[in-house]
């Protein structure tokens, strides 16, 4: 019955659409009569449906416990030759089923989710890691109230920061401090950073500018 009611509503809507575009009065009258017939049938069916719905027994459904999401921001980190390690303290995390703890690794990010821990979903994510990691060799372990995330390094190098943002922020603060003490030293540091991270064309441009400035002398 619900399907038939839905189809009748669609028919009425289509007739109303035709009415808007009709220009002949006779056509409008025919459409109006047909619409009234459909509306009468629709009202009758809806009344029957309501009566039937009231008499049918409703299945008992146990309400699910509402849960909400909590973002985890506090963590400690360390590194070894092969791994960058994240330590996250979360009381009673060892009491939830193993399937409720999921950690997805990508080359430059990780996403942890702990589902339904005392009606809360906990999430922890890090994007734009400073260097690439090996997702297939990375792991997530739980011990008592601690979550240990081991991100396997793709290269055997020492990480100065966890993310690209942290490194840029640190460098920016250093440049600001240098600006206050020695503007020329700040400019030299900026040029050096641009040269170290630039492509061949950028390096040639900087080298040329440096040579010309040395020949002409400082302009500031």
**pLDDT at 146 exceeding the cut of 50:** yes
pLDDT tier at 83 (50, 70, 90 boundaries)? very high
**Which domain range does residue 183 map to?**
164-211
What's the average model confidence in pLDDT over 16-38? 75
Most confident by average pLDDT, 33-42, 67-76, 142-151: 142-151
Within a domain: residue 219? no
pLDDT at residue 211, as a whole number? 72
**pLDDT at 208 exceeding the cut of 60:** yes
Within a domain: residue 63? no
pTM over 0.75: no
Query: Comparing C-alpha atoms, which of 151, 171, 149, 150 is closest to residue 160?
Result: 171
Same domain, 31 and 87: no
pLDDT at residue 171, as a whole number? 82
**R_g of the chain, CA atoms, integer Å:** 34
Q: In CATH, what number is assigned to the domain containing residue 142?
A: 2.60.40.790
Same domain, 49 and 94: no
The total number of structural domains that make up the chain: 3
Same domain, 138 and 197: no
Within a domain: residue 220? no
């Amino acid at each position: 019955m619900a399907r038939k009611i839905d189809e009748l509503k669609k028919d009425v809507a289509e007739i109303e659409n035709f009415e808007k575009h009709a220009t002949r009065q006779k056509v409008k009258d025919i459409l109006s009569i047909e619409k009234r017939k459909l509306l009468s049938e629709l009202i009758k069916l809806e009344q029957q449906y309501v009566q039937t719905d009231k008499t049918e027994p409703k299945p008992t459904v146990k309400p699910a416990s509402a849960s909400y999401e909590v973002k985890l921001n506090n963590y400690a980190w360390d590194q070894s030759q092969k791994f960058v390690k994240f330590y996250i303290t979360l009381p009673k995390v060892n009491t939830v089923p193993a399937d409720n703890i999921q950690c997805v690794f990508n080359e430059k990010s990780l996403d942890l989710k702990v589902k339904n821990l005392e009606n809360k979903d906990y999430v922890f994510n890090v994007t734009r890691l400073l260097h690439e990691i090996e997702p297939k060799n990375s792991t997530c372990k739980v011990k008592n109230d601690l979550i240990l995330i081991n991100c396997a390094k793709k290269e055997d190098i020492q990480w100065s920061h966890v993310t690209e943002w942290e490194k840029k922020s640190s460098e920016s603060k250093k440049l600001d401090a240098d600006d206050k003490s020695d503007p020329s030293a700040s400019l030299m540091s900026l040029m050096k950073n641009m040269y170290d991270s630039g492509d061949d064309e950028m390096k040639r441009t900087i080298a040329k500018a440096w040579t010309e400035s040395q020949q002409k002398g400082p302009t500031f």
